[in-house]
A and B are shown apart, each in its own frame.
Chain A
Amino acid sequence: ETGVTQSPTHLIKTRGQQVTLRCSSQSGHNTVSWYQQALGQGPQFIFQYYREEENGRGNFPPRFSGLQFPNYSSELNVNALELDDSALYLCASSSIEQEGYTFGSGTRLTVV
């Protein structure tokens, strides 16, 4: 098992900029979900991808978008960054056989 790998680990961006976060899912997992976790809070669901299609979305605006690739890796893109976008962004992979998520260590995004 390779686990879930996220990059970069830390990122500082200016308000209004765009950012792309990357995730390599665990071997054998075909579903990738992205979560936003503010300090002291639980993770909030952004969206989920299954077989390269978005199949669930939380209460996040359209400037949050994503992709899943044939090798099940994924990207989270955020346009027009706002100060409130500062958070830990978590990627989680799963499969039918394992319903609990395997999380990466996250990307800490700071918007200044």
Chain B
Amino acid sequence: EDQVTQSPEALRLQEGESSSLNCSYTVSGLRGLFWYRQDPGKGPEFLFTLYSAGEEKEKERLKATLTKKESFLHITAPKPEDSATYLCAVRPGAGKSTFGDGTTLTVKP
């Protein structure tokens, strides 16, 4: 069975304090690993897709990386507007994605 574990569950940072979120996964053949951002009361918003180990994607202050067992979401010099829950998901093939429970990031000014 596919599994996704995200850590830490919650992360509090000061504005400008860089850090990383972890997503560990086990999957029977990875078709893609996805990162989403979810604000309270809203649906997840797609950020990145990573397909193979060694791949990296960047968007503003966020950079996602992928190895054979885990993915990291690096946040450089975060701002309060980066506060949200970040979800990681894996898709083994056609069909469902399996999500982790997310990391809730709070960035204090």
Contacts and interface: CB of A to CB of B under 8 A. Distances in A.
A105 B45 CA distance: 10
Interface in A19-77: 33, 35, 40-45, 48, 55-56, 58
Given A55-B94, A55-B95, A99 B101 contact: no
Contacts of B45: 103
Contacts of A40: 101
A107 to B, nearest CB: 10
A42 B46 contact: no
Given A99-B49, A100-B34, A104-B43, A45 B101 contact: no
Interface of A: 4, 33, 35, 40-45, 48, 55-56, 58, 90, 92, 99-106, 108
Contacts of A44: 99
Size category of the binding interface on chain B: 20 to 34
Closest 7 CB pairs of A and B: A103-B43, A42-B99, A56-B95, A45-B96, A100-B46, A42-B101, A43-B99
Contacts of A106: 42-43
Contact of B102 (A42, A45, A90, A105): A42
In the complex, which of the residues A101, A102, A105 has the most CB atoms of chain B within 10 Å of its own CB atom? A101
B96 A48 contact: yes
Given A40-B101, A42-B87, A100-B49, A105 B95 contact: no
